[in-house]
Amino acid sequence: MSDPLSEVISLLRPRAVFSKRISGAGRWGVRYSDFGQPSFSVVLEGRCRLAVDGHPALTLEAGDFVLLPATPGFTMSGFERVTPERVDPKAMASATGEVRHGTRGGRPDVRMLGGTFVFDAPDAGLLVSLLPRVVHVRGVERLSVLVGLVGEESLQRRPGRDLALTHLVQLMLIEALRSAPAEQAPPGLLRGLADRELAPAMRRMHAQLARAWTVPQLAKAAGLSRSAFFERFTRTVGLPPNEYLLTWRMAVAKDLLRRREVGLAEVAERVGYGSASAFSTAFSRHVGQPPGRYARARDDTPAPA
């Protein structure tokens, strides 16, 4: 049966990792502006405070992992009151060596490995909206190992580096998302997959994307009445089931069009439309332009830096 989490990460196409060691000591605090791209960090030793805009502040300890799929503004600091220094996340990428905040020299109060990467998907924003804005995982050794490997690989220029990083980041994302407490996640994919009744219906939708699913059929797969399934799905996933299915179909269609490995008729068939014209009409209504124009526009779009 299909694995929706793996499919989302595969469609996101994570790549191009930048990583850096960061430490802090004494009275320190930094304020990062909204970045928009995904970022991650793991605490190697010590403790610090992380306050992401719109979320309760977190105390991070050694072994903690944090993933921000879209990296809004945030403040990172020690535990003494301080006016945070503003930092441009893009300028940080050009710094060399370990970045030290607060007191220079001596043993730091916290040392972390932080990094950023990009999602190379044409529909990244929509897919990211299905994920939690903040993923905080504590005490998962596999994540620390994976982040360490990402850090080592990103700092060296060995043959096969780009492919190795792509696979390592995919593994890191999967491990982080499946280790995150689903009951604390906002409405979205993780909450849906953690729901014992909804998960079978979601997996069937992903496994048989071309099938003309109805709400009663999906409700039967979940073992719920039609009205109970519709209400529970909408509340847990954040979208009504028919809208979720349409959204996923269009995300898959965009990926197929972008790769240009199959013709329009086959794209239509794979995502559940009986003809290319019916698919074109639905795609144009959802995306705002015909599939042919969308595919050509993707060819002309430069890759993210």
Q: What is the pTM of this model?
A: 0.84
Which token pair is 203? 């997996």
pLDDT surpassing 60 at residue 302: no
Closest C-alpha among 186, 205, 288 to residue 246: 205
Count of residues making up the chain: 305
Q: Please name each of the domains of the chain with its CATH number.
A: 4-180 (2.60.120.280), 189-300 (1.10.10.60)
pLDDT surpassing 70 at residue 123: yes
What pLDDT band is residue 17 in, cutting at 50, 70 and 90? Answer: confident
Give the pLDDT confidence of 49-90 residue by residue, as tens digits: 999 999 999 999 999 999 999 999 999 999 999 999 998 877
pLDDT surpassing 70 at residue 96: no
Q: How far apart are CA 218 and CA 202, in angstroms?
A: 8
Q: 16-30, 84-98, 212-226, 272-286 — which is least confidently predicted?
A: 84-98
Tokens 């993933």 sit on residue: 67
Q: How far apart are CA 1 and CA 200, in angstroms?
A: 9
pLDDT surpassing 60 at residue 304: no
Q: What is the pLDDT of residue 210?
A: 94
Are the C-beta atoms of 61 and 43 separated by less than 8 Å? yes
Average pLDDT over residues 268-284: 95
Give the pLDDT confidence of 185-243 residue by residue, as tens digits: 788 988 999 999 999 999 999 999 999 999 999 999 999 999 999 999 999 999 999 99
Q: What is the pLDDT of residue 153?
A: 86
Task: Return all residues near 6 (Cβ < 8 A) that are at least 6 apart.
Answer: 174
Q: What is the pLDDT of residue 237?
A: 94
- Return the beta strands (E) in 53-81 as ranges: 58-61, 65-68, 74-77
Q: Which residue has the higher pLDDT, 205 or 299?
A: 205
pLDDT surpassing 80 at residue 278: yes
15 forms beta bridges with 118
SS3 content of the chain, % helix, strand, coil (to 5): 45, 20, 35
What pLDDT band is residue 110 in, cutting at 50, 70 and 90? Answer: very high
Give the pLDDT confidence of 125-168 residue by residue, as tens digits: 878 888 899 999 998 888 888 988 988 888 777 888 888 988 99
pLDDT surpassing 50 at residue 283: yes
* Mean residue pLDDT across the chain: 89
Q: What is the pLDDT of residue 291?
A: 93
Q: How far apart are CA 292 and CA 271, in angstroms?
A: 16
CA-to-CA dists, residue 112 to 33, 46, 85, 261, angstroms: 19, 9, 18, 42
Q: How do strand 85-87 and strand 29-32 relate by DSSP bridges?
A: parallel
pLDDT surpassing 60 at residue 303: no
DSSP annotation of 150: H
Q: What is the pLDDT of residue 239?
A: 94
What count of other Cβ atoms lies within 10 Å of the Cβ of residue 107? 10
Q: Which residue has the higher pLDDT, 301 or 271?
A: 271
Structural element, H or E, at residue 165: helix 161-179
Which token pair is 172? 């890191």
In degrees rounded to 5, what are phi and psi of residue 296? -65, -35
